[in-house]
Structure 1
Amino acid sequence: MSTTIQKSDHDIDETVTRLASLKPFGRLDRVGAAPRGKEASWIDSLPESSRIRLEKYGIDLSQGYPLVPDSSEIPTFVDEAFEIRNKEYPYIERAKNADPEKKALFGAAKEVKDLTAHIGTEIVGLQLSDLTDQQKDELALLIAERVVVFFRDQDLSPQKQLELGKYFGQVEIHPQAARVPNTVDGQDIKGISVIWQEYQRQRSGLRLTYKNSINGNSQWHTDLVHEYQPAGITHLHNDAIPSVGGDTLWASGYAAYDKLSPAIQQFLDGKTAIYRSAHPYVDRQSPLSGPKFIEREHPIIRTHPATGWKSLFVNRAMTVKIVGLKKEESDILLEYLFGVFEKHVDIQVRFNWQPTKEGLGTSALWDNRISQHNAVWDHEGKQARHGTRVTSLAEVPFFDPKSKSQRESLGLSLD
């Protein structure tokens, strides 16, 4: 009897492994199985401006582009994906070292322009690749205060983009996402993701049409909320930009919190929510039960370690439920909170990546701890939009009950 049971258990384990090897789940906003490894290459469709930039800085395109991890390199089970970064990693909040007046950063710029009252600043006349550590610290503080900061006319190599990302924190290396090839002249450059919606649409089955333009990055979301230490500063550099369209919107979590009534603020302070990954995996114990996501519990109101301001930390794409509430209660409240970001245009900024000089690109750096963003797919793939992205992971999220809201801290009206 014992022998039979052991054999049965072995057979079950073997069946689970075989089923999982089929990789039955891709992202749920895609149709069909996405190609992997060399099969995923779309080198012939790479925009010319992107090719010129990549080749200029020694990126090897001979094995195809973008690099998509082979199926054998991707975690199969949700428990193993969960463990990839499941321990606290040392984090330095660079903004805490900055001069509050940002004299080194602003003094070197030709112009500093606030694009709206509450969110978004553009810096003119500086190259990100040339920043000193003091200027990087001041940039981190500016991002923490203004949520997103823009730089046009950038001559920026992927390597320098990665270097800046590592200065801000541990760079996330996504186990599934398309990325720039891993090495340049033997140097490891893992961690540079490719943002190329037309590739995702035509090569990987992303459901994007005019009637269904809210998918992939074209919906309100915050990056990597399922991480033990979620995303801090993300840096997207676009090297192929449509002449019309292809904008991106950001919304401020600080301002969203200040939109709430004092009663709702008090109710949410100290509460936590469940956040899930964008990519699904297989449940080892129940492989046929459908896709399972990595889930983490974080404060729904976060305190930013540099500003000390409270921020509403939710997003429609990946916030599952508020802990301690019944599902129907959580659903109603979350729907309202999502709408605070999405409906209040006075706490949003819409950025057009053009104009930029020929041969140069435009960069946006934003803080995921205090924002949502949404890429507008109105160009419908008629002109290329391609970029490289580096995301630096930040601290383990926390709520400080002594922290203040942005408007309270700045002495602005709370009405």
Structure 2
Amino acid sequence: AERVERAVGLFDDLGCNMIRCWGGNVYEDHAFFDRCDECGIMVWQDFAYACCFYPQTDDFLAQVRREAEAVVEKLRNHPSLALWCGDNEIDGFYANAGLNPGANRLTREVIPQVLHRRDPYRHYVPSSPYVPPSLVGAPDVWAHTPEQHLWGPRGYYKGPFYMQHSAHFIGEIGYHGCPNVSSIERFISPEHLWPWDSNDEWQVHAVYHWQHQAISRDRIQLMANQVRELFGAIPDTLAEFALASQVTQAEAKKYFIESTRLRKWHTSGILWWNVIDGWPQFSDAIVDYYFSRKLAYEYIRRVQRPVCVIVGEAGSGKYLPVVVSNDTRSPADVHYRIWDAEDRQTIVEGDFSAPPNQNWQVDRLRTFASDQRLYLIEWEVDGERFGNHYLAGTPPFRLEQYRAWLQAIAALPRPFDAERVAR
């Protein structure tokens, strides 16, 4: 119960407006939903079926029906419960096997019948991602569903897979980040703290995903590879590795959220994976099992503000767009300023009245292929100051340079202690 209270507090502090309880999860008790009700956080609730083929026998379906009836009757009166989802990724399993997901009686027959009788006015989607009849038999189904889980090759976070997707809603997306060293010391024995490679204890506290591409099955190796994508090399000490990994994760997840906001309304939302670990491990979470925050927590907390100033990508042009994203239902008068982290000279500054629920480009920054710069961003709305940053250029970046920039990033509104990052 204490962990639930603290976890929902994290969701609220981060500015999350929806949480997905996925099909590999448990059904949370009333305490969780009560807190979400109070905080105004919507819940996407999967039924507890995930990533496999389930029996279609009458006996098993009867058990599914009894479970669904009990869960729906228990939770249906919570206003935070936004929608029911039949399962996690099972439509995709059917499609990949050349089968019709519509033949899955759990999500097309039993669960819809229960909902029709016991919670008829709440939204229901059969699977996440849902494969509609029009896509059955189509090649590369996963890339064409309206909702998508954007895992892919897990390479550079600004690679084509992440920049050119077609999702109208992102139900899953993530990037690995090493826990703080102080947390690792609590679940890895002293003689196995380092190196990361060929380390059995690290592997015990990670995932080896046999169903994924060989290049991304070993999640410890994946975490190291993602560090190399951004910095060109893998550090040779635990402290440096943890810092580099947390920077990589933080920049990646910040980009995923910002790019989703900039694609409004083509892409209408993102449920990134994930807030907190359920056990001590190396993972995509931004808060570890011991409630120690990774750097991504601080970055996400800034870019999930209802009104946010975002620097986008140049695309084929020579300018980076400066966009005011107003996700509120009211106009917002914004004063913004962007400056270079090195010389602290103001590059653009201005005032703008942002219409409700819209994005507007208010300025642009000249960019060059050779740039490796850090832009610092600050804006004010209703007397309150906010901060963000933009890492310009392409890898490899130098970790020492980023460490120096981190001091300036940390000092922006909603500050944090740069010296404690990854410790």
TM-score w.r.t. the length of structure 1 is 0.25
> Quick check: which one's helix share is greater?
2
TM-score w.r.t. the length of structure 2 is 0.25
